[in-house]
């Protein structure tokens, strides 16, 4: 997901997206540990997306 796509969303949408990404990360970690997923690069991308979402939520909260 591109940062420009995320910037246009409201805080409520960002929180929903954050929960979705965290759930996906949890599932991916489980699948990596059970050797169902070989591409661990997706884990890194998902963690990066979570960090970007959290950063945007925090900056929007400070502006208000």
* Domains along the sequence of the chain with CATH: 3-63 (1.10.287)
**Is 8 in a helix, a strand, or coil?**
coil
What token pair was written down for 64? 């208000």
Task: Tell me how far apart the alpha carbons of residues 7 and 53 are, in angstroms, rounded to a whole number.
Answer: 9
CB 24 within 8 Å of CB 46:
yes
List, for residues 7-41, the tens digit of each pLDDT value. Answer: 889 999 999 999 999 999 999 999 888 888 778 89
* Verdict on whether the full-model pTM lies above 0.75: yes
Burial class (CB within 10 angstroms; exposed 0-12, middle 13-18, buried 19+) of 18 = middle
């Amino acid at each position: 997901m591109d940062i420009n796509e995320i910037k246009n969303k409201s805080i409520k949408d960002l929180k929903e997206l954050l929960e979705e990404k965290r759930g996906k990360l949890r599932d991916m970690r489980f699948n990596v540990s059970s050797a169902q997923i070989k591409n661990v690069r997706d884990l890194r991308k998902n963690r990066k997306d979570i960090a970007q979402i959290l950063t945007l939520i925090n900056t929007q909260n400070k502006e208000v």
